[in-house]
């Protein structure tokens, strides 16, 4: 196989706070690449001009600690003063070899200000201070010496992160990329379902995807569903230039990241039961359906209805949720919001929940649903195809917009302990977790299939459309218990 280089731009941009979604998947890839001993793998970043720069030894050491979660993070500190939290955030930034991206600015501002919804004067002031510090640090940093650019190595294969694809597609740097490129395709949701994202994000996504289809030799898709959508998009864009498309399902990875932590032998008692939904709070994730379900079930089930714990960062287009809560203030006793959690705290929620819900309208993979099964937690999922794939066909499936069916399913889970026990047993006996190293090995196998004589981007003849992941877990295609509308 050609020399392999891995782009570490995304974790450096993300910074030392718990990764979610796409950053968690790409961080897992980098973590496993760092642990590989032979053949050696090179690591680089893409600078603002779109050029690759190899990491030096000090930067590699920082990267190892970053992806292993060993660095201080802007979490906790609820009893600390505003100044103490601000100084902690600035010290984290000062210790980094590169400037973090805007998402770290927002997370650090939430930590400093205590404003989870990313709104208000205190939050804006905190974010401004953090970005001013970043600007001053960037001005004072010594110019980095030029290094080898692996993107210009015709004998190399380079992984480009989603962050770097965004930069390169936006700035279109001079000089063609000479290496073979592979990228991870997480979804095409902003193209297929633009109503779930803002117009600016949708435009950027269309541009980035077009660049990937034109310049990638291999597109690694996180699910069969995503691979099908990518194939359709590639054929519609240019039937004569279709990159090799492969599937490497990423599993979940959270449980592995906290595997060395001691956990209680028994689940805690004496506190109210809760149902968990771990997801960014945004319109696509369909939280409004759960609000309506809990609103209907509170008077029916009373104390038998567990608290709904919504674990995730506030994202965008959630005004309907705020309005619904304002119109039904009694729900505040039954719905809790948790955000800015460490991986260990999130793992505890998965261990302690009665069951989970995942009503998302559409997903590229369904990381949160897979995380549930990793911890043996039953999860009620929507009929989004990738969620069935992520849960290996083992969990009950309910139409994403069918409030009555969701009421029936949640009520059954709350009142039928035997049914929940059967679901837990099904997970224990039939679920096959996807380990990080297997995910990485599958990607390496796909990269090796490019071969030393791959024609690259100069070829305009169609290439093979897809390769199946060699380590696909068993259980896919199993029966899917479904809930339909019922009269109540």
Q: Are residues 467 and 386 in the same domain?
A: no
Is 412 within the bounds of a domain?
Answer: yes
Give the pLDDT of residue 434.
93
pLDDT tens-digit profile of 200-212? 999 999 999 999 9
pLDDT tens-digit profile of 243-287? 899 999 998 888 887 875 555 545 555 567 999 999 999 999 999
Task: Assess contact for 7 and 62: CB atoms under 8 A.
Answer: no
Q: Are residues 154 and 33 in the same domain?
A: yes
**Dist CA 123 CA 111 (whole Å):** 9
Q: Are residues 305 and 185 in the same domain?
A: no
Residue 287 in tokens: 């939280």
Which one is predicted more confidently, 268 or 393?
Answer: 393
Q: Is 32 exposed, middle or buried (0-12, 13-18, 19+ CB in 10 A)?
A: buried
CA 486 to chain CA centroid, Å, is: 34
Q: Are residues 337 and 381 in the same domain?
A: yes
Which one is predicted more confidently, 478 or 131?
Answer: 131
**Three-state DSSP state, 307:** strand
Q: Are residues 452 and 394 in the same domain?
A: no
Residue written as token pair 């208000």: 120
CATH (domain of 237): 3.40.50.2000
pLDDT tens-digit profile of 147-178? 889 999 999 999 999 999 999 998 887 777 99
Provide the percentage of residues in the chain whose pLDDT is more than 90: 69
Give the pLDDT of residue 58.
93
Give the pLDDT of residue 442.
95
Q: Are residues 311 and 365 in the same domain?
A: yes
pLDDT tens-digit profile of 285-327? 999 999 999 999 999 999 999 999 999 988 888 899 999 999 9
Is 481 within the bounds of a domain?
Answer: no
Q: Are residues 278 and 423 in the same domain?
A: yes
How much of the chain is in helix, strand and coil states, percent to nearest 5?
50, 10, 40
Nearest one of 53, 270, 246, 214 to 149, comparing CA atoms: 53
The yes-or-no verdict on residue 336 having pLDDT over 70 is: yes
The chain-wide mean pLDDT, for the chain, equals 87
Name 115's Cβ contacts closer than 8 Å, sequence gap at least 6.
Answer: 109, 122, 123
Give the pLDDT of residue 261.
55
Taking the chain, what is the end-to-end CA distance rounded to the nearest angstrom?
61
Count: domains in the chain: 2
The yes-or-no verdict on residue 469 having pLDDT over 80 is: no
Domain residue limits at 6: 1-56+147-250+435-473
The yes-or-no verdict on residue 194 having pLDDT over 90 is: yes
**Dist CA 94 CA 32 (whole Å):** 27
Length of the chain: 488
- Residue 353: count other Cβ atoms within 10 Å of its Cβ: 25
Q: Are residues 469 and 408 in the same domain?
A: no
Q: Are residues 211 and 348 in the same domain?
A: no
Q: Show the CA angle centred on residue 257, arms to residues 255 and 261, nearest 5°.
A: 85
Confidence class for position 464, pLDDT limits 50, 70, 90? very low
Is 482 within the bounds of a domain?
Answer: no
Is 479 within the bounds of a domain?
Answer: no
**Dist CA 292 CA 404 (whole Å):** 10
Give the pLDDT of residue 475.
39
The yes-or-no verdict on residue 481 having pLDDT over 70 is: no
């Amino acid at each position: 196989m050609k020399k392999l280089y891995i782009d570490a731009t995304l974790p450096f941009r993300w910074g030392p706070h718990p990764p979610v979604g796409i950053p968690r998947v790409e961080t897992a890839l980098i973590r496993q690449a760092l642990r590989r001993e032979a053949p050696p793998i090179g690591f680089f970043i893409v600078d603002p001009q779109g050029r690759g720069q190899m990491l030096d030894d000090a930067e590699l050491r920082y990267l190892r600690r970053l992806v292993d979660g060993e660095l201080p993070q802007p979490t906790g500190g609820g009893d600390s003063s505003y100044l103490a939290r601000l100084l902690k955030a600035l010290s984290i930034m000062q210790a980094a070899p590169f400037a973090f991206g805007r998402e770290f600015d927002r997370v650090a501002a939430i930590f400093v200000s205590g404003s989870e919804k990313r709104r208000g004067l205190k939050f804006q002031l905190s974010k401004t201070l953090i970005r001013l510090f970043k600007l001053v640090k960037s001005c004072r940093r010594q110019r980095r010496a030029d290094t080898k650019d692996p993107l210009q190595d015709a004998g190399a294969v380079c992984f480009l992160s989603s962050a770097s694809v965004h930069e390169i597609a936006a700035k279109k740097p001079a000089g063609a990329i000479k290496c073979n490129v592979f990228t991870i395709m997480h979804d095409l949701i902003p193209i297929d379902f633009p109503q779930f994202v803002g117009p600016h994000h949708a435009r950027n996504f269309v541009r980035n995807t077009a660049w990937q289809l034109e310049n990638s030799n291999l597109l690694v898709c996180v699910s069969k569903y995503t691979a099908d959508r990518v194939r359709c998009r590639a054929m519609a864009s240019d039937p004569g230039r279709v990159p090799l498309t492969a599937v490497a399902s990423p599993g979940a990875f959270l449980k592995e990241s906290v595997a060395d932590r001691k956990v209680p032998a028994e689940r805690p008692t004496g506190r109210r039961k809760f149902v968990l939904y771990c997801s960014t709070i945004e319109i696509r994730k369909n939280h409004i359906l759960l609000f309506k379900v809990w609103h209907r079930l509170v008077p029916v089930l009373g104390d038998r209805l567990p608290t709904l714990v919504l674990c995730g960062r506030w994202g965008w287009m959630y005004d309907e949720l705020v309005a619904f809560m304002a119109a039904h203030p009694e729900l505040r006793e039954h719905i809790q919001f948790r955000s800015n959690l460490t991986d260990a705290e999130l793992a505890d929620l998965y261990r302690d929940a009665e069951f989970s819900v995942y009503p998302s309208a559409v997903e590229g993979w369904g990381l949160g649903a897979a995380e549930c099964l990793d911890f043996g937690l039953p999860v009620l999922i929507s009929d989004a195809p990738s969620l069935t794939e992520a849960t290996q066909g083992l969990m009950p499936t309910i139409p994403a917009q069918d409030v009555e069916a969701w009421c029936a399913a949640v009520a059954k889970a709350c009142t039928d302990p035997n049914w929940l026990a059967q679901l837990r047993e099904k997970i224990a006996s039939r679920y096959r977790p996807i380990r990080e190293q297997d995910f990485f090995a599958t990607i390496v196998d796909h990269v090796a299939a490019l071969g030393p004589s791959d024609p690259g981007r100069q070829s305009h003849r169609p290439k093979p459309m897809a390769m199946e992941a060699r380590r696909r877990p068993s259980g896919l295609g199993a029966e899917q218990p479904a809930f339909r509308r019922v009269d109540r």
